[in-house]
Amino acid sequence: MLSIPCPWCGDRDETEFRYGGEAEVAYPADPDAVDDPAWREYLFVRANPKGWFKERWVHTAGCRQWFTVHRHTVTYEIRDPQPIGEGAR
Amino acid sequence: MTSAWHEPAGSFELPRHDVPHWRDVDPKRAYEVVIVGAGGHGLATAYYLAKNHGITDVAVVDKGWLAGGNMARNTTIIRSNYLWDESAAIYEHALKLWEGLEEDLGYELLFSQRGVLNLAHNLTDVREAKRRVNANQLNGVDAEWLEPEEVKKLVPIMDTSADVRYPVHGATFQPRAGIAKHDYVAWGFARAAYERGVQLIQNCEVTGISVRGGRVTGVETTRGKIAAKQVALCAAGHTTVLGDMVGLRLPIQSHPLQALVSELLDQVLDTVVMSNTVHVYVSQAHKGELVLGAGIDSYNGYGQRGSLHVIEEQLSAALELYPVFARAHVLRTWAGIVDVCPDASPILGLTPVDGLYVNGGWGTGGFKVTPGAGWVYADTIANGRPHPLAEPYALDRFRTGALIDEHGAAAVAH
């Protein structure tokens, strides 16, 4: 069970959250200009590093806010929780 | 070989094998084919490269020990009752190979065709399950629909009453499905490949993949550079880590998938029972342990351990279905690292790098296809083009959109 630091509520159990995957994957600015390989990247490809990973969680059972953390995908250490910035999703 | 397993627990002795089956060697400077990953798929690929194609200048390298990754961490279930034609074709090819594998390898695998039930707990499940039975039958895969009372006959310990949170509305049944002893499968393939000249190199981690002019030239390892005309990735769980070495961004995410075993019990469960809706699947191992699997953890991870709440949900589902399990003690829990594709189907075939092949993304279902994947992958490598059964699993399907959406038949939501 991960203990996840919500920027608003503090450390809470993993069961209060829902996972959002890789952070800072932006919707294409001009969708009509996106070709098939680029759509493939946007729709299906996400980073999957063995090490530090910037990812999103939402505190579904708490404040219901989205935020990002850096989490190590081997040790599961979590640091640097931050509210989602302007324009990011 | 199902002869011995009905004996009471405690009297069953696992077959002993002469060891060692292979000799440790230092890697040569060059091979025709280097296979990365000495798990079931890597060993099976090496075996079929040698046996079916006469290619024996092959090294199987592994960062750890042989079959110490997901091969030692799965729930050993074998079945081929998948929905789509492409999936039924490759999993049924594998099941047919399983049916002759002990004879082919000359090695006891405790392959036991005790059947698998996939439970339906609501009307949507029932419709999906009946649809899958029809699809299976059209593809020549044995499958039937069972009403709750028929399920009860096969699994008397199951609570099939209407008084539970998720009542059993019936099940699909594949009689030819079953289990095998995973260690023996690995050792059987390892011995057979070694006897045909394949070198098995443990404690040899691949740290880089060498490419020149768009063509693979070998691998860099913790034991030096190894040249190879062809490099075959076979390291489920770590496929993206290897792909990243050559800038190949793969549509795969790695997640922990947990399983657990109970202490040894008398024989109480004669088939494999799976339930996607309440998220538990269970069989009873030859020695008597209950082997229970759950769903994947939501987050990416390589830590080979998971979250306790997943185990809690899995056990609460198991207890509701099988009240008798309440007296069983959990002996051991663990996680494997599964690499999951967006359509819950694998990637098997060529890459944009000439001579570099990929076999990964099997998600939670890699064990059952071990001989089939090895067979098809070896043919792909030997001929430099996808085997017909591998064609639908091309990496390019994520560009063309020809996905094979097997979330339903994967039996684990992911």
Given this model, what pLDDT does residue B305 score? 87
**Euclidean distance between CA atoms B74 and B72, whole angstroms:** 6
Given this model, what pLDDT does residue B302 score? 96
% chain B with pLDDT above 70: 96
Tell me if ipTM is over 0.90: yes
Alpha carbons within 13 angstroms on the beta-carbon side of residue B360 total 31
Residues of A with Cβ-Cβ distance to B308 under 8 angstroms: 1
**For B323-365, what is each residue's pLDDT tens digit?**
999 999 999 999 999 999 999 999 999 999 999 999 999 999 9
pLDDT at residue B19 is higher than 80: no
Residues of B with Cβ-Cβ distance to A44 under 8 angstroms: 251, 342, 398
Given this model, what pLDDT does residue B411 score? 54
pLDDT at residue B10 is higher than 80: no
Residue A21 and residue B398: Cβ atoms within 8 Å?
Answer: no
Task: Name the amino acid, one letter, at B88.
Answer: A
Specify whether the backbone of B14 is left (phi greater than 0), alpha (psi in -120 to 50) or beta. Answer: beta
Peptide bond before residue B148 is cis, with ω within 30 degrees of 0? no
**For B259-278, what is each residue's pLDDT tens digit?**
999 999 999 999 999 999 99
Please tell me if residue B402 touches chain A, with a CB cutoff of 8 Å.
no
Given this model, what pLDDT does residue A88 score? 47
Helix runs in B61-181, H state only: 85-105, 123-138, 148-154
Residue A44 and residue B251: Cβ atoms within 8 Å?
Answer: yes
Q: Which residues of B192-222 are buried (b: 16+ CB within 10 A; e: fewer)?
A: bbbebebbbbbebebeebbbeeeebbbbebe
Residue B308 and residue A43: Cβ atoms within 8 Å?
Answer: no
Residue B399 and residue A36: Cβ atoms within 8 Å?
Answer: yes
Q: Is B409 exposed, middle or buried (0-12, 13-18, 19+ CB in 10 A)?
A: buried
pLDDT at residue A26 is higher than 80: yes
pLDDT at residue B295 is higher than 90: no
**Residue A45: what are its φ and ψ, rounded to 5°?**
-105, 125
What's the sign of the alpha-carbon dihedral B60, B66, B67, B70? negative
Task: Name the amino acid, one letter, at B319.
Answer: L
pLDDT at residue B1 is higher than 70: no
If one compares B408 and B325, the residue with the highest pLDDT of the two is B325
- Give the SS3 label for residue B200: strand
**Residue A86: what are its φ and ψ, rounded to 5°?**
-60, 130
Given this model, what pLDDT does residue B2 score? 43
